[in-house]
């Protein structure tokens, strides 16, 4: 009848579905750099702008690390 799958194993799929694909998504920002020079600042709200223009406007604080 029932197999030896632990209740926890079966519940794991439901857990993964929730933790990795559910919940509130807090947007972060990332900065793309090449050769240690920051080039592109990308917000997960799909705003793409160049770093100099952001700095000129009084830059948003950088939350991510360089890639």
Note the residues at the interface with another protein (CB under 8 A).
1-3, 5, 7-28, 32, 34-37, 39-40, 50, 52, 61, 63
* Residue 54 C-beta: closest distance to another protein, Å: 12
Nearer to another protein, 35 or 46 (CB): 35
Distance of CA 58 to the CA centre of its chain: 24
Please state, in angstroms and rounded to a whole number, the distance separating the CA atoms of residues 25 and 17: 14
What are the tokens at 30? 């990332």
Nearer to another protein, 17 or 59 (CB): 17
* Residue 44 C-beta: closest distance to another protein, Å: 11
Of 37, 29, 31, 27, nearest in space to 67 by CA: 31
């Amino acid at each position: 009848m029932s197999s030896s799958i632990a209740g926890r194993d079966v519940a794991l799929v439901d857990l993964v579905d929730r933790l990795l694909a559910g919940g509130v998504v807090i947007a972060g920002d990332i900065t793309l750099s090449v050769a240690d020079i920051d080039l592109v600042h990308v917000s997960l709200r799909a705003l793409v702008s160049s770093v100099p223009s952001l700095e000129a406007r009084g830059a948003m604080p950088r939350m991510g690390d360089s890639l």
